[in-house]
Structures are given as C-alpha cells and as structure tokens.
C-alpha cells in the first residue's frame, strides 16, 4: 500500500469501506488514476448480515473479484421462520449466494485495489474539499472527480451541498458470531412481533447472527429470547466476536452528484438490511459510476442510480409490511408453505431474475393468497 498521497489524481475516493474500494477498483479498470483515503485502520468491520446474494456476487465479478470458497460459505436460498412455521425458496438457475465475514471481504477488496495500482491512504482523514480537490490537513490533492463513499452520515454529501433528504425511519441492528456447526444451507430470517433475526453460516464452525428492530434497547441476548427457534439452534454455543451495532433503513436522495462530486454506497442512500442488498447495490453503483467518469456524463449516473435502487427499495418496503405484525407473518408463511411458487417468484424478483414491473403482479398474487389462506 502506498501511504504517500500524490499531488494530483483523476479520482479521489473519500471512504475506504467496501463501497469506496469498489468505486476505486472500477475506476482503475477504466484506466483512471485513483486515490482512496480513510481515517480508519484496516480491515474495517461493520455490523451486517454478511450474506452476498447472487446479484451481488455477479457485481463483484464485474470488478474482477472471485471470492474463494475458503473465505466464505455458499448458501442456496432463503428460509423464513416463525415460531410455528417455516418456508424456503431457492435461488434461480442453481445460483448461490456467499456468506463471508465483513473483515475478509474488506481484505479481498483491498488486495484487488492494490493489485490494480490504487493509492490507499489509511489512517488519513480527509478534512474538507477545495475548489480543485481534496484537503488532507494542510495539503490539497488535486482531483478531477471526487467520490463520497463515507457512509450514511456522509460529510461529503454535506460539503457538496447535496440535499440531506427527508428524515428516514431508522431501525437498530446488532450482529455477533457464534461458534456452532451450520444447520442449514440457506440464509434464514426469523420473525417475531418485535424483531427479525438473521442467521448465515460464514464458516464450518461459525454462524453470523444479526437482529433488527425499532427498539434501540433490544440487544441480541434479549432478542434471541423472542426467537425461540433460533435460540434453540444456538443453545450452548460460544461467541467468537464482539456484538456490534448499526442503524438501517430505507433512505433516498433527490440528487447524488453535483459538479465533479458523486456519492456511492450508503452515502448515496440506503436500503434496509432486511433485503441483504446493500453491498450488492454499492458494487453495481461503483461500476456505473466509473463508466460515467470515463464518458464525463454524471447526469447518466444520477438517472441510472435511481433505477438501480428501485428493486431493492420496493422489496424492502414489501418485506417490512410484515414487521411487527405476527398475524400477517403467520398468514404469509402459510401462503408460502401451501403455494411455494409465490415465494419462489418473489425471491427471483428480489435477486433481479424477474423484471421490477413484476413486483405489482407478484404482490397481488401474495395478497390474493393471504385473502384465501
């Protein structure tokens, strides 16, 4: 890694998380000079469910990244579980997702960026933007393009004068790893009246467990008591990581670029963690943004950024209709159990194997099933 900032660059990425590294990799693939700066020391960890869906893996492959199975664990679909029922669906065409520790993913992205010649400046906080570049303390690095990849509370968004958007409804998420043998080949979502639990096997003896709710005080230990089916799976298991927390929710902005500044990843808007699509969406945005840098057309990025977010944003809204509604949860799983093709079609829509316009028809199919269940 090069810890010496150049005097000038084509693209300066502020934020060295997965979204920022993906944007840097994509820009280098287009032949642009790239610098990434972040005040943190790698690898950077963050609370998340750690499951990459098939469309997210495809987006990574476009960045030249193929995660070895030794760094993760494949899963073939999704399972919904309540205290009284369970239903599952498989990814279409035999495709798989991959569960991988956030720190491992960050390392893989760093290695790819370094391989391509990205200048990586760790423990190097950006202090502001200048007329012709980025401020690193008393220094200014000239940059043709500036990328804000500094998360949902983006300073770059504020510095660029971009609309902060309406105040979102946020939920509270917590994550921890348990030392236990995997019991399923799927990503599992457990439903209760107060929260959702997520279980994803990330190794032969390690399962990532996450919890999301509207209650900032509902931590994993109490949440697991509300999810007896998941709690039973973890009985006697030790933990192998610290509990980490994060905020999650749907958030959209009217504009994600201004002048020579563009936002990517959570800085440009978020989808609720219930979708599992946050990282995959950021990787797709990164490829799009690099193409727009190459053509000099950020207006295209603005338009297509919104298009990319339509499917995961609506899927989050659809799934969150179940949040806090145990009766609706039970009836939905009854429909999925008795009419598995409905769950299958919704999963195909979720991973982009069905066009977004089908969300209306598939939603009506589910609604009819609920009325007749």
The model's pLDDT over 204-249, given as tens digits with 9 standing for 90+, comes to 999 999 999 999 999 999 999 999 999 999 999 999 999 999 999 9
Please state the rounded mean pLDDT for residues 113-129: 97
pLDDT in tens, 283-294: 999 999 999 999
Residue 281 has pLDDT above 80, yes or no: yes
Q: Is the preceding peptide bond at 92 cis, omega within 30 degrees of 0? A: no
Q: What is the CATH number of domain 70-99+168-248?
A: 3.30.9.100
Is 269 within 8 Å of 251 (Cβ atoms)?
yes
Buried b (16+ CB within 10 A) or exposed e, 3-42: eebeeebbbbbbbbbbbbbbbbbbbbbbebbbbbbbeeeb
Residue 361 has pLDDT above 60, yes or no: no
Tell me what pLDDT residue 1 has.
42
pLDDT band of 165, cuts 50, 70, 90: confident
Q: What is the DSSP letter of 160?
A: T
pLDDT band of 168, cuts 50, 70, 90: confident
d(CA 61, CA 18): 14
Is 26 within 8 Å of 164 (Cβ atoms)?
no
Q: What is the DSSP letter of 17?
A: S
Residue 373 has pLDDT above 60, yes or no: no
d(CA 141, CA 143): 6
Tell me what pLDDT residue 195 has.
96
Mean pLDDT of the chain: 92
Is 305 within 8 Å of 285 (Cβ atoms)?
yes
Please report which residue ranges of the chain form alpha helices under DSSP H.
Answer: 18-29, 54-62, 102-116, 155-159, 220-225, 228-233, 278-295, 298-320, 326-338, 340-350, 358-372
| Cβ count within 10 A of residue 239 | 14
Counting residues of the chain whose pLDDT is more than 90, the rounded percentage is: 84
Is 316 within 8 Å of 93 (Cβ atoms)?
no
Tell me what pLDDT residue 371 has.
46
Tell me what pLDDT residue 368 has.
45
Is 197 within 8 Å of 223 (Cβ atoms)?
yes
Residue 156 has pLDDT above 70, yes or no: yes
d(CA 77, CA 89): 6
Query: Which residue shows structure tokens 């199975």?
Result: 69
Residue 363 has pLDDT above 60, yes or no: no
277 to each of 93, 208, 254, how far by Cα in Å?
A: 19, 17, 20
Cα-based torsion angle of the residue sequence 127, 20, 50, 344 in order, rounded to the nearest 10 degrees: 130
d(CA 62, CA 55): 11
pTM of the model: 0.93
pLDDT band of 84, cuts 50, 70, 90: confident
Domain 8-47+101-166+250-316 has CATH 3.40.50.2300: no
State the SS3 of 163-188: CCCCCCCCEEEEEEEEECCCCCCCEE
Tell me what pLDDT residue 332 has.
92
pLDDT in tens, 254-270: 999 999 999 999 999 99
pLDDT band of 3, cuts 50, 70, 90: low
> Could you state, in order of their start, the residue ranges of all structural domains in the chain?
8-47+101-166+250-316, 70-99+168-248, 324-372
Please state the rounded mean pLDDT for residues 63-85: 94
Tell me what pLDDT residue 4 has.
81
Query: What Rg value do the Cα atoms of the chain yield, rounded?
Result: 21
Residue 185 has pLDDT above 50, yes or no: yes
Identical fold between 8-47+101-166+250-316 and 70-99+168-248: no
């Amino acid at each position: 890694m090069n810890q010496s900032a150049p005097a000038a660059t084509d693209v300066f990425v502020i934020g060295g998380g997965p979204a920022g590294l993906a944007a840097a990799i994509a820009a280098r693939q287009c032949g642009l000079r790239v610098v990434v700066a972040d005040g943190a020391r790698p690898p950077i960890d963050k609370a998340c469910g750690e499951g990459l869906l098939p469309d997210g893996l495809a987006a990574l492959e476009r960045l030249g990244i193929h995660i070895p199975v030794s760094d993760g664990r494949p899963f073939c679909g999704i399972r919904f579980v309540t205290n009284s029922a369970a239903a599952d669906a498989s990814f279409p065409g035999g495709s798989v997702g991959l569960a991988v520790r956030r720190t491992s993913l960050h390392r893989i992205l760093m290695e790819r960026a370094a391989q391509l010649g990205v200048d990586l400046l760790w423990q190097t906080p950006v202090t502001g933007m200048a007329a012709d570049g980025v401020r690193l303390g008393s220094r200014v690095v000239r940059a043709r393009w500036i990328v804000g990849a500094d998360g949902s509370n983006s300073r770059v968004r504020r510095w660029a004068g971009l609309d902060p958007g309406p105040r979102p409804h946020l939920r509270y998420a917590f994550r921890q790893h348990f030392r236990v043998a995997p019991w399923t080949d799927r990503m599992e979502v457990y439903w209760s009246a107060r929260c959702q639990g997520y279980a994803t096997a990330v190794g032969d003896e390690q399962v990532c467990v996450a919890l999301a709710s509207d209650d900032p005080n509902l931590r994993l230990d109490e949440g697991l008591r509300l999810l007896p089916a998941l709690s039973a799976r973890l009985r006697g298991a030790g933990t192998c990581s610290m509990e980490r927390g994060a905020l999650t929710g749907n958030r959209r902005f009217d504009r994600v670029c201004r002048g020579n500044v563009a936002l990517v990843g959570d800085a440009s808007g978020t989808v609720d963690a219930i979708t599992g699509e946050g990282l995959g969406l950021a990787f797709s945005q990164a490829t799009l943004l690099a193409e727009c840098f190459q053509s000099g057309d950020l207006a295209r990025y603005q338009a297509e950024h919104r298009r990319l977010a339509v499917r995961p944003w609506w899927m989050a809204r659809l799934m969150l209709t179940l949040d806090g509604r145990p009766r609706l949860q039970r009836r939905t799983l009854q429909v999925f159990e008795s009419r598995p093709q409905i769950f299958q079609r919704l999963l195909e829509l979720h991973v982009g194997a069905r066009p977004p316009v089908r969300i209306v028809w598939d939603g009506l199919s589910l609604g009819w099933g609920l009325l007749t269940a």
